[in-house]
């Protein structure tokens, strides 16, 4: 593992070859995002067309995965089939800890299997297994059949799999990780589908020789006590991310009805409080985290006359509740769970899917498209129809749904309706706080609310100017890129201050990286932007759809002058950075 | 003397902190395998967790099976492990009726619970606790 050596496992699906590479030099990039970006550049991932057989997928842990609490994430880097440029997605679950115990620091997958295949990867083995019987199956059935057949190291393994949407090349298909977590955005699932790679099982049942000393044990205890004994992570444990729903709604920041509104009259019904009081059945954790933020709701459905019931466990979060709830005017939490469950089965990205359906509903209303195109009449709040529409989207049943599967903006370009496509680089996340958030997602390196959290600046800034916003964005980006190189969960950003990050790095012998953490953060930022631009991203060509200027936010209706100035300044900063 | 009990397994969130603590404190190792207790799912994460651990038997079959008395019964339940006497034969592993002992493939010693209780200090939900009185074990 990272502490002694850096082991890169290369798997070539075309030739079914495996190669182990030792790369201690990658420690200069800390790990995670940093090391994977560097490796992506070396493999010339930016030169290989998106979706090409050779296009690499890199999974990376970092030096602190499993070593300290909440160091639980795995970073994936790839060329996004959705945007055509930088693909980066992070997932929790067990994968981070399991990779640490499998002795695999970076996993690189290239090539394309001739037939559907799944991989079983352990500390001392790589197996290519026939997956013809799994092709076409939904995410949950696939998981069940793999668990049934693969007995090894139950409890110390992680199972990644894709669903029908990815197999059919929907550009925003995700990867399900351990049932309740995901590499959701920017089409990692799509890329796996293109490679005929249905699933990856990683088995982590090795022990490592990392020297456990008293200093480490003491620091672990210090962090552990903060996790379980302070308020730092209380919100994630208690209501979880859905605690955002009501506060955002009250400050006109909850995207509703395809961003026609930012307040939803049924927000109470889909609030974190409602879910917790009525539907929450359990909370679970990613391996190595004592918070347990994964909130699992109970979906109880009648399937026959009299008292025929079935139940399903569905994990819910703010982003899913906004995208499949308020954006579609879904009026009850139970219906939101149904929609989430459908998205999970099909292996779609929940945010993109919800936003795409919201656009479709408005486009139908406005007559830009007709029922002839969609084959179904969609109406706000009509869950049964939306459940069917998700299926049509995943299976790409006709030209319209095929095109929508390329992305909401792709469909809008063809049919019209770009002005009201809620797309900021990719379909928006659940924060209509104001122009800084809009710009931060539209221009963030992975177009994620987690890039720089502009929503926080919108809500908290006292000096609200483009200059102050850019300064905030840059400092957040630098800090977050170091955290995602460790690889930390970003919910731990309050816990892992610069000081604690540096102490953690020092304890495992990364003294140099601890000393130069901020500079390394800038280097990683530079590298990512350089590669993103090399793949065709143009920071001067960023557009915020008209809808965003028409709808009230916490900061009122965004001022175009303010917004455009911030875009210009941000673009200049990016160009300066990579010069 | 107190022994380790799985008090309420349904409160387990699957963080694995107990296993890591066992490995860290008892073996100075970074490992999930070198942990006397094992957290697993019952069959996929939506099925819930199980925590497999030493029951702290008052007549431990593992100690009875040990040919060298490296494992001997501990007062109050469970066993005491005397590593200098262990020849690594693995008889204890075979004898344990609940699979709570595993031989370490590198060190050739049994990874066995000695009722130290460090794991309980790293459980955020008090799923496992050191319990004073010896009561029949009920696996939920």
Q: How far apart are CA A358 and CA A394, in angstroms?
A: 16
CB A275 within 8 A of CB A315: no
**Residue-level pLDDT at A44:** 97
Q: How far apart are CA A117 and CA A444, in angstroms?
A: 34
| CATH of span B55-112 | 3.30.70.20
Q: Which of B10, B34, B125 sits opposite A207 (nearest CB)?
A: B34
CB A497 within 8 A of CB A223: no
Per-residue pLDDT for A74 more than 70? yes
* Contact between B44 and A179 using a beta-carbon 8 Å cutoff: yes
* Residues sharing a CB contact under 8 Å with residue A560, sequence separation 6 or more, in sequence order: A549
3-state SS, A260-288, equals CECCCCCHHHHCHHHHHHHCEEEEECCCC
Q: Name the residue in chain B with its Cα closest to that of A72.
A: B15
Measured between beta carbons, the chain B residues lying within 8 angstroms of A220 are: 24
CB A430 within 8 A of CB A318: yes
**Residue-level pLDDT at A379:** 98
Q: Per-residue confidence at B42, pLDDT binned at 50, 70, 90?
A: confident
Q: Which of B16, B24, B46 sits opposite A287 (nearest CB)?
A: B16
Residue A256 forms beta bridges with which residues?
A: A261
Which whole number is the average pLDDT over A430-438? 98
Tens digit of each residue's pLDDT (9 = 90 or more) over A521-531 = 999 999 999 99
Percent of chain A with pLDDT over 90: 95
Nearest to B17 by CA among A532, A71, A311, A203: A71
* Residues sharing a CB contact under 8 Å with residue A100, sequence separation 6 or more, in sequence order: A1, A61, A65, A66, A67, A204, A208, B30
Q: How far apart are CA A454 and CA A219, in angstroms?
A: 32
Q: How far apart are CA A464 and CA A441, in angstroms?
A: 18
- Asked if A144 reaches chain B (Cβ–Cβ under 8 Å), the answer is yes
**Residue-level pLDDT at A205:** 81
Mean pLDDT, chain A, integer: 96
Residue ranges of domains in chain A: 7-203, 236-409, 426-578
Contact residues, A window 194-213, toward B, CB-based 8 Å cutoff = 204-208, 210-213
- Asked if A217 reaches chain B (Cβ–Cβ under 8 Å), the answer is yes
Neighbours of A334 (CB within 10 A): 20
List the single range of A2-6, A183-187, A333-337, A444-448 with lowest mean pLDDT. A2-6
* Contact between A210 and B30 using a beta-carbon 8 Å cutoff: yes
Q: Per-residue confidence at A154, pLDDT binned at 50, 70, 90?
A: confident
Inter-chain CB pairs, A–B, below 8 Å: 89
Per-residue pLDDT for A222 more than 80? yes
- A36 Cα to chain B: minimum distance (Å): 24
Element at A443 (helix H, strand E): helix A435-443
Q: Within 13 Å and on the Cβ side, how many CA atoms surround A205?
A: 20
Q: Per-residue confidence at A63, pLDDT binned at 50, 70, 90?
A: very high
Q: How far apart are CA B73 and CA B57, in angstroms?
A: 8
**Residue-level pLDDT at B140:** 54
Tens digit of each residue's pLDDT (9 = 90 or more) over A135-151 = 999 999 999 999 989 98
Nearest to A548 by CA among A410, A406, A442, A412: A442
Buried b (16+ CB within 10 A) or exposed e, B86-110: beebebbbebbeeebbbbbeeeebb
Neighbours of A47 (CB within 10 A): 13
* Contact between B43 and A147 using a beta-carbon 8 Å cutoff: yes
**Do β-strands A197-203 and A117-122 pair in parallel, antiparallel, or remain unpaired?**
parallel
Which whole number is the average pLDDT over A277-303? 96
Eight-class DSSP state of B129: E
What phi and psi values does residue A245 have, to the nearest 5 degrees?
Answer: -55, -55
Which of the listed CATH numbers 2.60.260.20, 1.10.599.10, 1.10.10.10, 1.20.1440.230 matches domain A426-578?
A: 1.10.599.10
| CATH of span A236-409 | 1.10.569.10
**Residue-level pLDDT at B123:** 96
Per-residue pLDDT for A575 more than 80? yes
Q: How far apart are CA A314 and CA A487, in angstroms?
A: 26
**Residue-level pLDDT at A211:** 72
Tens digit of each residue's pLDDT (9 = 90 or more) over A496-522 = 999 999 999 999 999 999 999 999 999
Top-tier CATH class for A7-203: alpha beta
Percent of chain B with pLDDT over 90: 80
Residue among A4, A205, A290 with most chain B CBs within 10 A, to mutate: A290
Q: Which two tokens stand for residue A454?
A: 């502009």
* SS3 assignment, position A407: coil
Q: How far apart are CA A381 and CA A383, in angstroms?
A: 6
Residue among B124, B125, B127, B128 with most chain A CBs within 10 A, to mutate: B124
Q: What is the CA radius of gyration of chain B?
A: 14
Element at A358 (helix H, strand E): helix A350-366
**Residue-level pLDDT at B49:** 92
CB A537 within 8 A of CB A234: no
In degrees, rounded to 5, the angle at the alpha carbon of residue B81 between the alpha carbons of residues B76 and B82 is 130
More confident residue, B133 or A157: A157
Which whole number is the average pLDDT over A387-397? 98
Measured between beta carbons, the chain B residues lying within 8 angstroms of A210 are: 30
**Residue-level pLDDT at B139:** 60
**Residue-level pLDDT at B45:** 82
Residue among B12, B14, B127 with most chain A CBs within 10 A, to mutate: B14
* Contact between A283 and B13 using a beta-carbon 8 Å cutoff: yes
Q: Per-residue confidence at A152, pLDDT binned at 50, 70, 90?
A: confident
Q: How far apart are CA A401 and CA A421, in angstroms?
A: 16
**Residue-level pLDDT at A209:** 61
Residue ranges of domains in chain B: 8-53+119-132, 55-112
* Contact between A290 and B124 using a beta-carbon 8 Å cutoff: yes
Per-residue pLDDT for A314 more than 60? yes
**Residue-level pLDDT at B43:** 81
């Amino acid at each position: 593992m990272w502490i002694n050596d850096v082991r890169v496992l290369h798997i070539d699906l075309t030739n079914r070859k495996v190669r182990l590479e030792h790369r201690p030099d990658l420690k200069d990039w800390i790990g995670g995002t940093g090391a994977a970006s560097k490796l992506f550049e070396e493999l010339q991932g930016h030169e290989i067309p998106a979706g090409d057989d050779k296009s690499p997928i890199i999974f990376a842990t970092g030096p602190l995965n499993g070593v300290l609490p909440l160091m639980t994430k795995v970073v994936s880097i790839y060329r996004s089939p959705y945007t055509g440029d930088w693909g980066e997605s992070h997932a929790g679950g067990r994968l981070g800890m399991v990779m640490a115990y499998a002795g695999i620091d970076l996993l690189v997958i290239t090539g394309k299997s001739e037939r559907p295949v799944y991989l079983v990867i352990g500390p001392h083995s790589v197996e290519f297994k026939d997956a013809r019987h799994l092709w076409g199956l939904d995410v949950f059935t696939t998981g069940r059949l793999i668990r049934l057949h693969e007995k090894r190291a139950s409890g110390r393994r992680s199972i990644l799999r894709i669903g029908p949407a990815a197999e059919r090349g929907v550009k925003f298909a995700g990867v399900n990780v351990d049932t309740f977590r995901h590499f959701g955005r920017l089409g990692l699932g799509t890329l796996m589908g293109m490679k005929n790679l249905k699933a990856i099982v990683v088995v982590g049942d090795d022990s490592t020789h990392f020297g456990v000393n008293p200093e480490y044990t003491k620091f672990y205890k210090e962090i552990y006590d903060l996790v379980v004994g302070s308020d730092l992570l209380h919100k994630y444990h208690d209501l979880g991310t859905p605690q955002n729903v009501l506060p955002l709604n009250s400050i006109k920041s909850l995207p509703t009805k395809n961003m026609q509104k930012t307040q939803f009259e049924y927000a109470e019904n889909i609030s974190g409080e409602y879910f917790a009081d009525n539907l929450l059945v359990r909370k679970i954790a990613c391996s190595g985290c004592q918070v347990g933020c994964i909130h699992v709701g109970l979906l109880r459905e009648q399937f026959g006359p009299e008292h025929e019931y079935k139940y399903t466990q569905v994990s819910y979060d703010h982003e899913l509740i906004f995208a499949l709830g308020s954006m579609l005017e879904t009026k009850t939490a139970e219906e939101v769970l149904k929609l989430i469950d459908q998205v999970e089965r099909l292996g779609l990205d929940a945010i993109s899917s919800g936003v795409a359906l919201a656009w479709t509903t408005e486009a139908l209303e406005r007559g830009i498209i007709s029922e002839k195109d969609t084959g179904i009449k969609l109406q706000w709040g009509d869950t049964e129809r939306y459940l069917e529409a998700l299926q049509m989207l995943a299976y790409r049943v006709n030209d319209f749904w095929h095109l929508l599967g390329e992305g909401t903006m792709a469909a809008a370009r063809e049919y019209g309706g770009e002005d009201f496509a809620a797309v900021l680089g990719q379909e928006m996340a659940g924060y209509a706080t104001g122009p800084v958030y809009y710009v931060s997602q539209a221009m963030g390196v992975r177009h994620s609310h987690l890039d720089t959290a502009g929503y926080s600046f919108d809500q908290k800034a006292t000096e609200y100017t483009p200059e102050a916003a850019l300064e905030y964005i840059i400092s957040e980006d630098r800090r977050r890129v170091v955290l995602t190189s460790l690889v930390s969960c970003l919910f731990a950003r309050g816990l892992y201050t610069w000081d604690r990050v540096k102490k953690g790095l020092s304890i495992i012998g990364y003294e140099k990286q601890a000393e130069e953490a901020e500079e390394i953060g800038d280097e990683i930022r530079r590298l990512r932007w350089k590669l993103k631009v090399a793949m065709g991203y143009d920071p001067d060509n960023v557009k915020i759809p008209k809808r965003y200027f028409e709808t009230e936010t916490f900061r009122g209706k965004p001022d175009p002058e303010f917004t455009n100035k911030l875009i210009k300044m941000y673009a200049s900063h990016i160009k300066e950075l990579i010069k | 003397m107190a022994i380790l009990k799985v008090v309420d397994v349904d409160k387990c969130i699957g963080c694995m902190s107990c296993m890591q603590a066992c490995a860290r404190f008892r073996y100075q190792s970074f490992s999930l395998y070198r942990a006397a207790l094992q957290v697993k799912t019952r069959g996929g994460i939506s099925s819930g967790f199980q925590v497999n651990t030493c029951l702290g038997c008052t007549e431990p079959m593992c100690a009875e099976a040990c040919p060298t008395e490296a494992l001997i019964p501990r007062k109050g339940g469970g066993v005491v492990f005397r590593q200098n006497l262990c020849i690594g034969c693995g008889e204890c592993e075979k004898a344990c009726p609940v699979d709570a002992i595993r031989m370490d493939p590198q060190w050739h010693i049994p990874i066995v619970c000695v009722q130290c209780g460090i794991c309980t200090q790293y459980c955020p939900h008090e799923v496992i606790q050191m319990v004073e009185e010896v009561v029949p074990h009920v696996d939920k």
